[in-house]
Amino acid sequence: MLVHLSELIKDAKKKNYALGAFNIENLETTIGVVRAAVKMKSPVILQVSETSIQYAGLKAITSIVQAIAAVEAGDIPVSLHLDHGKSFRSVAECVRAGFSSIMMDASDMPFTENIILTKQAVDFAHRKGVFAQGELGIVKGLEEVSPEERKKMMTNAEEAEEFVSKAGVDTLAVAVGNVHGIIKMQKGNPGLDLKRLESIHKIIPDTPLVLHGASGMSGQQIKDGIKYGITIINTDTELRLAFTQTLRHTLENNPDIYDPREVMTPSIEAIQKVTEEKMEFLGSAGMVK
């Protein structure tokens, strides 16, 4: 069933586990993630990026999530989130479409502009009862910046406190060494700055922190993150790899099949498997009684 993100956060905080936020872009990826949630008895956040909205259409992707949450998920709580909203317009569209949470990502703007842009989105979302995530510090891909530049882009604890109080966000995405995209899985994951994370959590203990770029992180890294206030963990690339590698394998090994359902089913199962593993690491598995 589709629920508001606030319900999921409340339970995760109470029981001390993290929620998985998984990027989906179509019917197949949605089914894969939701089947994992059902099998693992885990709450789940389904999130769509602006790119996925362009690909599938907002109405279509929203309807897919609503239908799958109502039918396949049964009693398992599912929430729908906008990932990395870059404009007020896309935030507003997702709020109107029925998302229970949005992200306004103005993290590449200077501090004051980030606060102004985020607050504008937060105020709009809150008027409609929708939760809002902001980002402070910048989570880049490994290929985009040097290690020295990355350090400068990390979240500063005092600024985080000011950002949360001025922008009014419900959750905060932090940059603590986490990296977006596939390249960290090829070149090695730089690891988390746990001291920094701890100092952020100490200064804003009531703000659930969001860890982007979780693909390729070890179970231990994830557990360490949760210890210091991470409540939501975003995974995209690992799902994409599972889907696509399986699709390639299916087609190469079955040159005669042409029914899209036969082509896609192993990829849906691959998404489900990766999601189930993540839910174990997060501690969200078994949390729906």
Query: Between residue 63 and residue 102, which ones bind ligand G3H under the rule CB under 6 A?
Result: 83-84
Q: Which of the choices ligand G3H, ligand 13P, Zn ion, none does residue 52 contact, using the CB cut-off of 5 to 8 A by kind?
A: ligand G3H
Question: Pick from 93, 193, 236, 276: which binds ligand G3H (CB under 6 A)?
Answer: 236
Nearer to Zn ion, 141 or 266 (CB): 141
Residue 257: CB atoms within 10 A of its CB come to 12
With binding defined as CB under 5 A, does residue 212 bind Zn ion? yes
Q: Which residues bind ligand 13P (CB under 6 A)?
A: 23, 83-84, 180-181, 212-215, 234-237
Q: Tokens 């990502």 identify what position? A: 105
CB of 160 to ligand G3H, least distance (A): 20
Alpha helical stretches, state H, 41-156: 50-56, 58-71, 88-97, 111-127, 147-152
Binding mask 21-60 for ligand G3H (x = CB under 6 A): --x-------------------------x-xx--------
- C-alpha distances (whole Å) from 242 to each of 29, 65, 220, 221, 269 are 10, 20, 21, 21, 9
Binding mask 215-254 for Zn ion (x = CB under 5 A): -------------------x--------------------
3-state DSSP call for residue 235? Answer: strand
Strands, E assignment, the chain: 19-23, 44-49, 78-85, 101-104, 131-136, 171-174, 209-211, 230-235
- Which is nearer to ligand G3H, 55 or 245 (by Cβ)? 55
Residue 214 partner contact from ligand 13P, Zn ion, ligand G3H, none using kind-dependent CB cut-offs of 5 to 8 Å = ligand 13P
Shortest distance in whole angstroms from residue 31 CB to ligand 13P? 19
Instruction: For residues 229 and 170, give the distance between their C-alpha atoms in angstroms, rounded to a whole number.
Output: 14
Phi/psi at 88 (5° precision): -60, -40
In the bound complex, what is the minimum distance in angstroms from residue 212's beta carbon to Zn ion? 3
Q: d(Cα 141, Cα 145) in Å, to the nearest integer? A: 7
Q: How far is the C-alpha of 252 from the C-alpha of 255, rounded, in Å? A: 6
Tell me how far, at minimum, the Cβ of 65 lies from Zn ion, in Å: 18
Print the binding letters for residues 160-189 with ligand G3H: x by CB under 6 A, - otherwise. Answer: --------------------x---------
Angle of helix 219-227 versus helix 260-282 axis, rounded to 10: 50
Q: Which does 235 bind (CB under 5 to 8 A by kind): ligand G3H, ligand 13P, Zn ion, none?
A: ligand 13P
Whichever of 234 and 284 has its CB closer to Zn ion, that residue is 234
Catalytic residues: 83
Q: Which amino acid, one-letter code, is at 272?
A: Q
By the rule CB under 6 A, 150 interacts with ligand G3H: no
Ramachandran sector of residue 57 (left: φ over 0; alpha: ψ -120 to 50; beta: rest)? left
Query: Where on the chain is the footprint of Zn ion (CB under 5 A)?
Result: 212, 234
